[in-house]
Structure 1
Amino acid sequence: MTRGEALKDFFRKTILPVASAALLYCIFRSACVKNGELDYLWLWILCGLPFGIWRLRLWIIPGGGSLGGGIALFLLNFVFAGLIGGCVLVWRLLVAAWYVPLTLYRLLTAGCACIITED
């Protein structure tokens, strides 16, 4: 693996997920403050919504003719998508933490490979 590929992989797997998580936190933090306390469950759901909305494979479709029940199930779909997306977001942040030492190792071994091949 070359240095350019290692840095590109580092940017894609580390910098982008951490930056998107920080941006989502800054956007939704003020919406989740109630009585001066931060509601972490709603913060989890709102920050995970962009990651989970397209991963939700099964949408609950209301049967019957009640408009109130249909709206409630529609919002329940978004809550489930936020919960799934919160798990995906945590996984991406764990992968980002793993890629920091992995990129350092790749950069060091790519530098050593260049030194060995030059002789």
Structure 2
Amino acid sequence: MTRGEAIKDFFCKTLLPAAAAALMYCIFRSACVKSGELDYLWLWILCGLPFGIWRLRLWIVPGGGSLGGGIALFVLNFILAGIIGGFVLAWRLIVAAWYVPLTVWRLIVG
């Protein structure tokens, strides 16, 4: 692996996910503060939403003609996508932490 490929991998697999997570945290932190305390569950869901919305393969489609039921299922879809995305985000951050020493190793050896 060349130096350019190692740096490109480092950028794509370490800096980009970490920057996206930091940006999501900065955006949604103020929305998740209630009574002076941070609600970590909603922060998890909101930060994971961009990572999980396209991974949610099965959308729950409302049946019948109830507008309230349709809106509730629509919101449930986004909550489930946020939870799935929270796990994806956590995995991406673990991979990012792994790629830091791996990139150093690749730059030293190769």
Residue 2 (structure 2) aligns with: 2
TM-score, normalised via structure 1 length? 0.92
Give the letter aligned to residue 16 of structure 1: L
RMSD: 0.3
| Post-superposition offset of 1:22 | 0.1
Which residue is 1:12 aligned to?
12
1:91 aligns with 2:91: yes
For 1:36, give the aligned amino acid: G
User: Which residue identity is paired with 2:61?
Assistant: I
Partner of 2:80: 80
Deviation at 1:82, TM superposition (A): 0.1
Paired position in structure 1 for 2:34 = 34
Give me the whole-angstrom Cα distance separating, in 2, the residues matched to 1:70 and 1:11: 41
Whichever of the two has the greater Rg, that structure is 1
1:13-45, CA deviations, whole angstroms, 9 ceiling, x for partnerless residues?
000000000000000000000000000000000
CA distance in 1, matches of 2:5, 2:59: 39
CA distance in 2, matches of 1:78, 1:92: 20
Q: Distance in 1 between matches of 2:31 and 2:67?
A: 27
**Corresponding residue for residue 53 of structure 2:** 53
Which digits, 9 at most, give the CA deviation of each residue in 1:74-99, with x for residues without a partner?
Answer: 00000000000000000000000000
One-letter code of the match for 1:6? Answer: A
Cα separation, 2, equivalents of 1:24 and 1:45: 11
